[in-house]
């Protein structure tokens, strides 16, 4: 870690407001992107980000300089978003995806599939909330199944099976989008 960043973090540990503002301005755009990914609306993302920053500044003493500061910040935002998600979970309907077994041919076809980030985001948005969380935690933010199971309060095997179904669902949705786009072009 760079010396300049270490000094900045130390100043934040001493609760120096100018250092805290500097850290905020450096990382808040990246962290807001993470918060947006795990919430349904911009206002929810703002709440998550604000709560996460308060945790960051209050628990900065527990951060070890041997670790990645970006990674530590991202983890806090993701964990805050999970808490937010679990708080709202009781109001949500639980939807399951059917078990789908992808054939090797399907997966080969997927390799050549063209899709944009916006299309991928739209497809992820169509996943049932639990599946979407597992997929994003595992694929985008690199959580392990054990961690996901603990954070979401689900069984380890549930995490694995939801990830597998989410992948297959996304591939199908993206294939459908691609097919429609080609039809419009022709």
Partner 1 sequence: MSNEEQFDDRVKRMFQGESIAPPANLEERLFAQLAPSPWPKRLGLSMGVLLVCGAGWWSALSEPEGALNVPSIETRSDIASAAEIVTVPVASDEVAPKASLESLETMDTSQVDDLQVLTKPDTEPSTPNQQALQSLERFPVESIPLESLEASTLQETNQNQWVLPAVVKLKN
Residues that bind partner 1 (CB under 8 A): 17, 20-21, 24-25, 28-30, 32-34, 36-37, 46, 49-50, 53-54, 57, 104, 107-108, 110-111, 117, 120, 138-140, 142, 167, 171
What number of other Cβ atoms are within 10 A of residue 8's Cβ? 19
Q: Please identify, using beta-carbon distances, which residue of 82 and 174 lies nearer to partner 1.
A: 174
Q: Please state the closest distance from residue 116 (CB atom) to partner 1, in A.
A: 9
Residue 114: closest CA among 169, 175, 168? 175
Task: Establish how many alpha carbons lie within 13 A of residue 99's alpha carbon, considering only the half-sphere containing its beta carbon.
Answer: 3
Q: Please identify, using beta-carbon distances, which residue of 88 and 116 lies nearer to partner 1.
A: 116
Number of H helices, E strands in the chain: 9, 0
Q: Please state the closest distance from residue 151 (CB atom) to partner 1, in A.
A: 19
Q: Please identify, using beta-carbon distances, which residue of 40 and 89 lies nearer to partner 1.
A: 40
The answer to whether the CB of 32 falls within 8 A of the CB of 77 is no
Q: Please state the closest distance from residue 121 (CB atom) to partner 1, in A.
A: 9
The answer to whether the CB of 135 falls within 8 A of the CB of 167 is yes
Q: Please state the closest distance from residue 107 (CB atom) to partner 1, in A.
A: 4
């Amino acid at each position: 870690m760079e010396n300049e960043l270490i000094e900045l973090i130390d100043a934040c540990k001493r609760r120096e407001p100018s250092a805290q503002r500097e850290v905020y301005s450096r990382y808040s755009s990246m962290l807001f992107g993470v918060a947006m990914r795990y919430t349904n609306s911009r206002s929810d993302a703002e709440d998550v980000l604000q709560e996460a920053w308060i945790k960051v500044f209050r628990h900065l003493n527990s951060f070890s300089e041997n670790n990645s500061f970006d990674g530590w910040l991202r983890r806090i935002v993701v964990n805050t978003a999970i808490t937010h998600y679990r708080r709202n979970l009781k109001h949500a309907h639980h939807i399951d995806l059917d078990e789908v077994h992808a054939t090797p041919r399907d997966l080969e076809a997927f390799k050549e599939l063209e899709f944009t980030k916006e299309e991928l985001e739209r497809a992820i948005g169509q996943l049932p909330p639990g599946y979407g969380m597992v997929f994003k935690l595992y694929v985008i933010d690199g959580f392990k199944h054990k961690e996901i199971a603990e954070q979401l309060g689900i069984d380890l095997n549930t995490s694995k099976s939801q990830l597998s179904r989410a992948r297959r669902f996304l591939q199908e949705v993206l294939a459908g989008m691609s097919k429609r786009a080609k039809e419009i072009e022709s």
